[in-house]
Amino acid sequence: MPAPITEANLLTIIGLHLQDAQGYGMTGRDAIQVNRENALAYYLGNKNGREAPGKSSVVSTDVADAIEWMMPAIMKELTSNNDVVRFDPTGADDEAQAELESDFVYEILMKDNEGFVAIHEFVKDALMQKNGIIKAYYAKKKKIVKEDYTGIVDEQLQVLLSDPAVELVSHTPYVVEGITFHDVRVNRTEMTGKINVSSVAPEKFCISANHNSIFIDEAPFYAHIEPRTLSSLVEEGYDKDMVYAIGAECSASDDDDQVSAYRFIMQGEEYMPDQNDFDYGASQKEITVAECYLWLDIDGDGISERVKVTVAGSSNPTAVLGIEEIDGCPFVSTTAILMSHKFFGLSIFDRLWQIQDHKTALWRNTMDNIYLQNNQRMKVLEGQVNLDDLLVSRPGGIVRVKSQAALEPIVTPPIGDAAYRMLDYLDMTRAGRVGVDANGDVKLDNIGDRVGSEGIRDVMNAKQELVNLIIRVVAETGMKPLCYLIRDLAVKHMDAVYDFRFKENWVKVDPKSWNRRLRSTVRVGLGSGDKTTLMAAAQQILTLQEKALANPQQAMVAPKQIYNALEFAAKQMGVPGISRFFMSPDSEEGKAKQKEVSENSSKQEEQQRLLAMANFKVQQALADAEQSKANAMMQKNQLQAEIDDQKLRFAALKEQSINQIKELQQALDSKNKSDELEFKYHQNDTSVALKLTEIEAKTSTDQDANFDANEELVEDSSESSTEELPNE
């Protein structure tokens, strides 16, 4: 069985790996570091060393322009809401839990850490210097807090000193009126743990030169190297005596100390190379520390384990600070343009440095041409011109000559139009390479239906897709592994139960109880559509939901689906959450509101039912009243017909009586009858008159009685229908 590795052998192995690794700034100043320095110089628009005395030294800034045009779009997609990476549920009953974990992880990234700054540096390093590196790890720190207590009694002092985390520093007892009081100073040692997320400067990270993937975890070797103070190492839990002993023998080397110097020097800032030139105290002394991750058989069982070895020094380590077996990689890398089967990708600098050089040369030539046209070269007849006058160029200046032909300008042909066309061509080439240009903010809606608009739309969409592809690469290779890493750290190290606001409700979160997750969905970048398209889609979804709700038989749209559509629309508008505007149906407040709405709806339905019954009764009463009125009218018409018939019979009887009277009168006149005949005449006349009077009186009485009865019947029907109407 192989013997365990000794410390000397371990230092030799680490040193060889560090010397062969690629990317660390001052390890032989490899090609990657040279590329990073050139990228920063081009980004800053620094002079390229090809300037000539007396000539234009203007520098184009295409690399910086492209990066700064991309950064807002990328950062908006990655940080404007918590929907970048979502863990996929494993079953129907796991959907809420998957959403909870997604939100909780994003909260750790953005709120427990300086998430925006870390992601900004991460992305900008990828765009400018090939690869961005971000580190997520759980760290416990020992923090010593000094506390002073005055005037405490014996019992309080005993309770204070019984705490194992408290160390007595000074103690002053005194007696007042027979009671002993104490003034004490103590050191309280606190151990704090936290998931930390921070961006790593690319020049402080190195990886095996033969590693062939953007993902770091399977690399044979990688390391994070930076100067550290002795105090910070002790805070992280390393043995104090060992740390200070190592610090007495070594310090940060000049090469290691200059790793990040170029960032300051290129921006014209003074760089303070080494604090060790002045004695700030032993605790603030810096040594170079390398956290190295590799596969080693540290226990001699013949099987390699993934281990983290922390050493003092970089390419030539001198001491081992610690060694531990690990179960994961704390680093995540991303790049702007993936290169197949390679760790280092291409940056925007790699794509544009030639364009920037060409534009710089064109700008300088154009400016020199303008200068020469304003200050032309002159042909001078020797001895015929005062050279002092000629050497001083000023508006309205006089040049003294001895003859008319002593001075003649040398004509400089203008190159402006050709240069401007070439500059436009280079701008188009730049847009084709990285997808952004000065007209990148033109809105498709402003193009309209003008001639050629379809071609313009195609070009603009193609440029947008280039940027979307970069966003998707960063999300897939950077943000997605980072979220998994944070989640794993939470499961392994967060022991407490946390109160967390999830979808407007406060819930208890216990990361220790989470199951393993293997799948997630990235919702930004290529394939997800631009904001305009997504916003239009959200509006269309809401419209379709409205149409579905109009059908009482539909079973596709509920309050939950409407809330989801509103939340989706809000995210496309840049609003991270809609809880200020809409209540989630799943929240306690939303459930209470739904219950209230349901109760109110039931009350309204009951009121509608009662009102419908009352209306039915009213309509029934009105119908009965109309029927009674119709019956009364029919009876009235029948009585009127009988009255008219009696009137006709009365008229006929009256006419018959008149005829009889006339006949009797004629008989009286013609025959001159006796008094007896005259008596009969008068008797008959009286009898007829009485009969007519009786008939008329009877007819009038019957007619009035029938009419009054009919009117009472109609009035009774109307009153009964009115009494049935409900109160409003």
Q: Is 366 helix (H, G, I), strand (E, B) or coil?
A: helix
- Min mean pLDDT across 334-338, 359-363, 456-460 is at 456-460
Q: Pick 358 or 523 by higher pLDDT.
A: 358
Highest average pLDDT, of 540-554, 564-578, 673-687, comes from 540-554
Provide the 3-class DSSP secondary structure of residue 622. helix
**Would you state the pLDDT for residue 454?**
44
Instruction: Please measure the distance between the N-terminal and C-terminal CA atoms of the chain and give it in whole angstroms.
Output: 99
Give pLDDT, residue 724: 46
DSSP 426-473: HHHHHHHHHS--TTTT--GGGTTT-TTHHHHHHHHHHHHHHHHHHHHH
C-alpha 699: how far from chain center: 97
Find how far residue 396's CA is from the centre of its chain: 63
pLDDT for position 684? 65
Handedness of CA 91, 93, 99, 105 (dihedral sign): negative
Residues 610-630 have a mean pLDDT of: 87
> How does strand 305-312 pair with strand 286-296?
antiparallel
Q: Which residue has the higher pLDDT, 110 or 315?
A: 110
The Cα–Cα gap between 73 and 69 comes to: 8
Give the amino acid at 632.
A
Distance CA 320, CA 242 (A): 10
**Which stretch of DSSP H or E encloses residue 295?**
strand 286-296
Q: Which residue has the tokens 């960032």?
A: 263
**pLDDT level of residue 198 (50, 70, 90 thresholds):** very high
What is the rounded distance in angstroms from the CA atom of residue 226 to the CA atom of residue 138? 19
- Quick check: 63 and 360 in contact, CB under 8 A? no
DSSP 379: E
**Residue 647 in 3-state DSSP?**
helix
Adjacent-strand bridge partners of 331: 135
Mean pLDDT of 266-292: 72
CA 135 – CA 488 distance, rounded (Å): 14
Give pLDDT, residue 373: 78
User: Cα–Cα distance between 319 and 124 in angstroms, integer?
Assistant: 35
pLDDT on residue 443: 42
Distance CA 596, CA 600 (A): 6
pLDDT at 530: 59
The answer to whether residue 529 scores a pLDDT higher than 70 is no
What is the pLDDT, as a whole number, of residue 679?
65
pLDDT of residue 2: 56
Contact call for residues 509 and 497 (beta carbons, < 8 A): yes
pLDDT over 50 (residue 88): yes
480: alpha, beta or left, given left = phi > 0 and alpha = psi -120 to 50?
alpha
Give the pLDDT band (50/70/90) at residue 274: low
The answer to whether 237 touches 306, Cβ cutoff 8 Å, is: no
pLDDT bucket at 672, cuts 50 / 70 / 90: low
Using an 8 Å Cβ cutoff, are 135 and 198 in contact?
yes
Buried b (16+ CB within 10 A) or exposed e, 152-182: eeeeebeebeeeeebeeeeeeeeeeeeeebb
What value does the mean pLDDT take over residues 514-526? 79
Tell me how many helices (H) and strands (E) the chain has.
19, 15
DSSP β-ladder status, 407-410 and 498-502: unpaired
In sequence order, the 6+-apart residues with CB closer than 8 A to the CB of 469 are: 525, 526
Residue 715: band (very low, low, confident or very high) from pLDDT cuts 50, 70, 90 = low
* CB-based contacts of 296, cutoff 8 Å, min separation 6: 5, 10, 13, 304, 305, 307, 309
Cα–Cα distance for residue pair 135/332, rounded to 1 Å: 6
What mean pLDDT, rounded, does the chain reach? Answer: 81
Radius of gyration of the chain (CA): 52
In percent, how much of the chain has pLDDT > 70? 82
Residue 100: C-alpha distances to residues 97, 482, 502, 503, 510 (Å): 5, 17, 7, 9, 11
* Helix (H) / strand (E) containing 226: strand 221-229
Query: What is the average per-residue pLDDT within 377-382?
Result: 82
- Residue 454 burial by Cβ neighbours in a 10 Å radius (0-12, 13-18, 19+): exposed
Q: Determine the pLDDT at residue 603.
A: 85
Q: Give mean pLDDT, residues 368-376.
A: 80
Q: Looking at the chain, how many residues does it have?
A: 728
Contact 26, 256 (CB under 8 A): yes
Gap between the Cα atoms of 443 and 239, Å rounded: 61
pLDDT band at 310 (very low <50, low <70, confident <90, very high): very high
Task: Say what the pLDDT of residue 449 is.
Answer: 44
Which of these ranges, 17-26, 64-73, 329-338, 601-610, has the smallest mean pLDDT?
17-26
Over 90: is that where the pLDDT of 716 sits? Answer: no
Specify the pLDDT at position 451: 41
Q: Which two tokens stand for residue 339?
A: 């290169």
- DSSP of 507-575, one letter per residue? EEE-GGGPPP---EEE-SSTTS--HHHHHHHHHHHHHHHHHHHTSTT--S--HHHHHHHHHHHHHHTT-
User: Strands (DSSP E) along 153-220, which ranges?
Assistant: 166-176, 179-200, 205-207
Those residues whose C-beta lies under 8 Å from the C-beta of residue 26, and which sit 6 or more positions away, are 33, 255, 256, 258, 259, 314
Residue 155 pLDDT: 92
Which residue has better confidence, 447 or 189?
189
Cα distance between residue 518 and residue 339, in whole Å: 25
Q: Chain-centre distance of CA 24, in angstroms?
A: 36
pLDDT of residue 635: 87
Which helix (H) or strand (E) element contains residue 136?
strand 131-152
pLDDT confidence of residue 707? 55
| 281 pLDDT tier (thresholds 50, 70, 90) | low
Decide: 141 and 235 in contact? Cβ < 8 Å.
yes
Please give the pLDDT value at position 64: 92
How confident is the model at residue 82, as a pLDDT? Answer: 73
**Alpha helices of 131-185 — where are they, by DSSP H?**
154-161
What pLDDT score does 547 carry? Answer: 83
Q: Which residue has the higher pLDDT, 22 or 577?
A: 22
Q: Match 């610090």 to its residue by tokens.
A: 247
